[in-house]
Amino acid sequence: MKVNDQLEVIYGARLSVFSAMGNGEYYKLDENKEITDTIWYPHGKFVKTYVNLEPRLSAVYKFNDYSSVKTSYARTTQNIHLLTQSVQASPYDRWTSSSNNIKPQIADQYSIGYFRNFFDNTYELSMETYYKNMRNQLDYKDYADFGGSDVVETDVLCGKGRAYGLEFMLKKRTGTFTGWVSYTLAKSEKKIDGINNNQWYNAYQDRTHDVSIVGIYELSPKWTFSAAWVYYTGNAITFPSGKYQIDRKDVMYYAERNGYRTPAYHRLDVGATYLVKKTAKYESELAFSLYNAYGRRNAYMIRFETNKSDLNQTSAYRYSLFTYIPSVSWNFKF
């Protein structure tokens, strides 16, 4: 809705309806997340239905043809939950849907940003801040059986979350050389009773710093070169703070949830594209690329094991997957 020449408002709403249905077992749990009853629901039987309204509102105020302020509010609902095992940075994720025991995730996000174009729209600058409040956030309880349990509801606890941050981007849109530089300063946390002494802690996805630099150079109508460098803070993970023995086996003790981080992640990707042929009906090109050009060994997994030379010591071992990955592809566009 256009209020006047400078102000435009857009509003609306979505209705989210999700039903957990039968042809399987569902469980009743007590306060300690222990199963008290198992019920079989036949095919097509409605077990639990969640109905959520998702209002949306945004406004744009134009100062002139080159600068504007945008603000928005949105409520979103997600019926799929991602569970990440953050102990020892093991790359184990599990997806589970809402059920009679697990409610949908609900988030309310507020944002405001300033946008400006320079030099006849050659450059674009954006600065934006946001805050997101989240409900029905899941996380594994202490010493959960990752992947070993068929009933995920018995291994998780539910609470709330919050995320907030600042985003900056400077983009060059026209010319033989284009690209952008972006930086995000952010925080993402959870607070779940029964985890981390009921205090706020870093979510696994929390990234304090996130930097992206991309450049694209059109050397000629045939050749285009590109490079992209990314950097972001390592994932928040849980490291052991001690260990003890049970039946001559080492058992790790964990205190603060997600109180440590993996090493920072960064890499450089470079590429070149050669336009083989272009007609009114189709286009073909050869693309050459090198992933992780300087061979950074980013952490994929971190494990803790007893030091073989000193059984009283525990050592951390970092594992990586890929260094350099060259590739060549021949693309056709019709």
Question: 16-43, pLDDT tens digit by residue?
Answer: 999 999 888 899 998 888 889 999 999 9
Which amino acid makes up residue 286?
A: L
Distance separating alpha carbons of residues 152 and 138, to the nearest angstrom: 11
Return the bridge partners of 239, or none. Answer: none
- CB burial of 221-231 (b: ≥16 within 10 Å; e: otherwise) equals eeebebbbbee
Q: Which two tokens stand for residue 185?
A: 């300063």
Which amino acid makes up residue 97?
A: S
Question: 298-334, pLDDT tens digit by residue?
Answer: 988 888 877 777 777 788 888 888 889 999 999 998 8
Lowest mean pLDDT among 134-148, 162-176, 224-238: 134-148
Q: Which residue has the higher pLDDT, 260 or 144?
A: 260
Average pLDDT, the chain: 91
Q: What residue ranges do the domains of the chain occupy?
A: 7-333
pTM for this predicted structure: 0.88
If you search the block for the tokens 């959960």, which residue do you land on? 144
Report yes or no: 110 and 102 within 8 Å, Cβ to Cβ. no
State whether residue 43 is helix, strand or coil: coil
**CA 221 to mean position of chain CA atoms:** 37
Return the bridge partners of 301, or none. Answer: 319
